[in-house]
Amino acid sequence: MLRRLWMPHPERTARRTSDRDPMRRLCAEGGGVMTFGQAAAGSSRGSRPAPDAPCPCGSGTSFAQCCGPMLAGASAPTPERLMRSRYTAFCLRDAAYLRDTWHPGTRPETLELDPGLAWMGLEIIDADADERRGVVEFRARWREGADAGVLHERSRFVHQGDRWWYLDGQVS
């Protein structure tokens, strides 16, 4: 069920048998498997909106005032801001940022991005954090061809080494 939500097409579900994490196929790039070796080659940073364009995460502020600085290397001040910036990274197909903000203990060795999957909107339902741990519950609307749906996840974050990391998520 968890994987079906991330992978709406049955044939993709069948192809996912070796995947360990539902986030691996959240967004799309180029129709094939993109490894981090390819990411390091330079095309993984994705596109960028104009600085004054509305941020893709739906915060209501501009990209330059919201997720832009984090995608450019700034640390996210809270788990919610990290969650938002990761959603934006999926929208912009920035696989390198997704890997860089994924805790080394749980992140996949490779990240596959699906070219047909578009993310249509993010809604933060709940966010809570102390100094070391954070949880962000969200809904993200997706569309792929004629299919559309909503991903509902509670993501866990951990603060280590003076920064927040995405740890894992539970889909409901």
In contact, 169 and 22? CB cutoff 8 Å: yes
Instruction: State yes or no: residue 117 binds Zn ion (CB under 5 A).
Output: no
The interface region with Zn ion, picked from 14-22, 39-47, 67-75, 114-122 by CB under 5 A, is: 67-75
The two tokens of residue 76 are: 């996210």
Cβ closer to Zn ion: 34 or 91?
91
Instruction: State yes or no: residue 82 binds Zn ion (CB under 5 A).
Output: no
Q: Which of 12, 25, 84, 99 binds Zn ion (CB under 5 A)?
A: 84
Q: What is the DSSP string of the chain?
A: -HHHHH--SHHHHHHTTT---GGGGSS--TTS---HHHIIIIITT-----TTSBPTT--SSBGGGTTHHHHTTPPPSSHHHHHHHHHHHHHHT-HHHHHHTB-TTT--SS----TT-EEEEEEEEEEEE-SSEEEEEEEEEEEETTEEEEEEEEEEEEEETTEEEEEEEEE-
Q: Nearest distance from residue 51's CB to Zn ion, in Å?
A: 12
Give the total of residues touching Zn ion (CB under 5 A). 6
Q: Nearest distance from residue 124's CB to Zn ion, in Å?
A: 11
Q: Give the largest Cα separation in the chain, rounded.
A: 43
Q: Which of 23, 27, 55, 135 binds Zn ion (CB under 5 A)?
A: 55
Q: Nearest distance from residue 48's CB to Zn ion, in Å?
A: 12
The interface region with Zn ion, picked from 40-48, 80-88, 104-112, 126-134 by CB under 5 A, is: 80-88
Q: Which of 28, 34, 39, 66 binds Zn ion (CB under 5 A)?
A: 66
Instruction: State yes or no: residue 92 binds Zn ion (CB under 5 A).
Output: no
Instruction: State yes or no: residue 57 binds Zn ion (CB under 5 A).
Output: yes
Q: Nearest distance from residue 23's CB to Zn ion, in Å?
A: 18
- Which residues of the chain form contacts with Zn ion (CB under 5 A)? 55, 57, 59, 66-67, 84
